[in-house]
């Protein structure tokens, strides 16, 4: 079968021939891949940036945002049957830290985890893949068109969940159960797939969502946000310091840009007791000059929290599936419009190049 690979550390993607994967254990599931999304991490890998091949190999099959159809199940599998749409999760635990043995490899403390398609384990840009039932998430038939968005949405769901847990526990008298997000002002910085999916999840929970990007108001990214009741802020017209003047201080900032200087500047818009959650992973090693004392002073004097969030647990995948269904009910086909491009796997080069302003999510099709 065909698969798309990179040589970690070198720029470029290429097709490789691999053996079709077989069942080796009773709890395994063979999946025929339908769609695999491309995100900033894949593009970073394709540009020769952060990625690691499996032990003993020079090549890494990339791809971590997948949707497929069950082809065959091992004898012990009860979660799914042949022809069910499914998604496999990304991270595999180290097997020895408390987080991983407790079922939360997304919070692995040893750093010895692997990630399919990214770090030490082949990914999903292939005609067939196999993995264990424990890493499989069932997707309803009606989401077969957009189920590939489950993984990026799971990343947003985890960041939101972490933020709510933190705010609820430290401000129990200020925020009742519904109040951490409902009617709060939340700035989503970066309207790529993760930012926009976060905007959907936050709107579904009643938040006032402001979205910051540097695209035209009529572009797909900005109009998707305004279409679900969000307010678009064009970063080319508003410097970070005038956002507060126009829109007020934010209760929360959800960052999904991966642009380090902006990530730090955005602390400026955060209100007292506010929480800032970062999900963008900046590439490269360019240094950034910041006013350190001012940042620390603000965090301390305003009781602010800054938290990073990566990957997601299976619970967050399940929330993502629910939210895709809810988003369709609430906003019709708006969420479907996140997928702006579908390309055949046979000529993937173009797909891994840098993103254009019109593009939101590009999906490689293995159908
Ligand atoms: C993926 C995560 C992964 C992270 C770091 C992101 O693009 O969505 O699953 O943990 O990269 O490798």
Report the atom number in ligand 1 closest to the C-alpha of 41: 7
Phi and psi angles of residue 141, each rounded to the nearest 5 degrees, phi first = -50, -40
Reported as a pLDDT band with limits 50, 70 and 90, residue 7 is very high
Which ligand 1 atom sits closest to the C-alpha of 42? 7
Residue 290: the pLDDT is 84
Predicted local distance difference test score (pLDDT) of residue 355: 73
What local confidence, expressed as pLDDT, does residue 115 receive? 98
Instruction: pLDDT band for 301, please (50, 70, 90 cuts).
Output: very high
Query: In this predicted model, what pLDDT tens digit does every residue of 261-297 receive, in sequence order?
Result: 888 889 999 999 999 999 999 887 888 888 889 999 9
Confidence of residue 2 (pLDDT cuts 50, 70, 90): very high
Distance CA 306, CA 253 (A): 9
Neighbours of 127 (CB within 10 A): 15
CA distances from 78 to 28, 53, 200 (A): 11, 32, 32
Q: pTM above the 0.75 mark?
A: yes
Q: Which residue would you say has higher pLDDT here, 182 or 286?
A: 182
Q: Taking each helix axis as running N to C, give the angle between helix 314-331 and helix 193-204, from 0 to 180 degrees, rounded to the nearest 10.
A: 70
State the pLDDT at residue 305: 97
DSSP notation for 221-279 = HHHHHHHTT-EEEETTTS-HHHHHHHH--EEEEEE----HHHHHHGGGGEEEEEEEEE-
Is the model's pLDDT at 177 over the cut of 60?
no
User: Could you tell me the domains of the chain?
Assistant: 2-138 (3.90.180.10), 153-308 (3.40.50.720)
Q: Measuring CA to CA, how many Å separate 358 from each of 95, 259, 279, 338, 363?
A: 42, 19, 22, 11, 14
Residue closest via CA to ligand 1's atom 3 equals: 311
State how beta strands 208-213 and 185-189 pair. parallel
Predicted pLDDT at 176: 64
pLDDT of residue 172: 85
Nearest CA to ligand 1 atom 4: 311
Name the CA dihedral angle for 241, 243, 246, 250, rounded to a multiple of 10 degrees: -110
Name the band, by pLDDT with cuts 50, 70 and 90, for residue 175: low
Those residues whose C-beta lies under 8 Å from the C-beta of residue 194, and which sit 6 or more positions away, are 39, 152, 155, 156, 256, 279, 280
- Token couple for 357: 């302003």
Ligand 1 atom closest to Cα of 194? 8
Residue 178 confidence class, pLDDT cut points 50, 70, 90: low
Which band of pLDDT confidence, cut at 50, 70 and 90, is reported for residue 181? very high
In this predicted structure, what is the pLDDT of residue 255?
97
Terminal-to-terminal C-alpha distance of the chain: 13
Can you spell out the DSSP letters for 309-349? --S--HHHHHHHHHHHHHHHHHHGGGGGGGEEEEEETTS-G
pLDDT at 106 over 70: yes
Q: Is the pLDDT of residue 354 over 80?
A: no
Residues with CB under 6 A from ligand 1: 39, 41, 64, 90-91, 115, 118-119, 155, 310-311
Nearest CA to ligand 1 atom 7: 41
**Average pLDDT value for residue range 217-236:** 97
Task: Select from 169, 186, 188 the least CA-distant residue to 177.
Answer: 169
Q: What is the DSSP string of 6-24?
A: E-TTSS--EEEE-PPP---
The yes-or-no verdict on residue 99 having pLDDT over 70 is yes
């Amino acid at each position: 079968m065909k698969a798309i690979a990179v040589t970690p550390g070198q720029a470029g993607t290429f097709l490789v021939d691999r053996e079709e994967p077989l069942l080796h254990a009773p709890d395994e599931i063979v999946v025929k891949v339908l769609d695999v999304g491309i995100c900033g991490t894949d593009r970073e890998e394709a540009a020769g940036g952060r990625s690691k091949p499996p032990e003993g190999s020079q090549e890494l099959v990339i791809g971590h945002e997948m949707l497929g159809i069950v082809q065959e199940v091992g004898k012990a599998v009860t979660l799914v049957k042949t022809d069910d749409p499914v998604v496999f999760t990304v991270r595999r635990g180290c097997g020895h830290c408390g987080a991983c043995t407790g079922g939360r490899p997304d919070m692995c403390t040893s750093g010895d985890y692997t990630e399919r398609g990214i770090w030490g384990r082949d990914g999903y840009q292939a005609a067939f893949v196999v993995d264990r039932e424990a890493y499989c998430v069932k997707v309803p038939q009606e989401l077969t068109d957009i189920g590939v968005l489950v993984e990026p949405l799971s990343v947003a769901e985890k960041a939101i969940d972490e933020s709510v847990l933190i705010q609820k526990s430290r401000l129990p008298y200020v925020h009742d159960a519904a109040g951490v997000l409902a009617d709060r002002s939340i700035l989503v910085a970066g309207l790529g797939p993760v930012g926009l999916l976060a905007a959907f999840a936050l709107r579904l929970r009643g938040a006032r969502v402001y979205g910051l990007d540097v695209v035209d108001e009529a572009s797909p990214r900005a109009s998707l946000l305004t279409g679900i009741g969000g307010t678009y802020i064009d970063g080319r017209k508003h410097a970070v310091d005038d956002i507060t003047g126009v829109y007020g201080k934010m209760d929360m900032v959800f960052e999904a840009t991966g642009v380090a200087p902006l990530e730090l500047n955005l602390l400026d818009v955060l209100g007292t007791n506010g929480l800032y959650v970062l999900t963008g992973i900046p590439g490269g090693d360019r240094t950034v000059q910041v006013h350190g004392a001012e940042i620390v002073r603000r965090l301390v004097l305003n009781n602010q929290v800054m938290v990073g969030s990566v990957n997601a647990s299976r619970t967050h995948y399940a929330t993502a599936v629910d939210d895709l269904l809810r988003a369709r009910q609430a906003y019709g086909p708006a969420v479907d419009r996140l997928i702006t491009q579908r390309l055949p796997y046979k000529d993937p080069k173009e797909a891994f190049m840098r993103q254009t302003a019109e593009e939101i999510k590009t999906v490689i099709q293995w159908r």
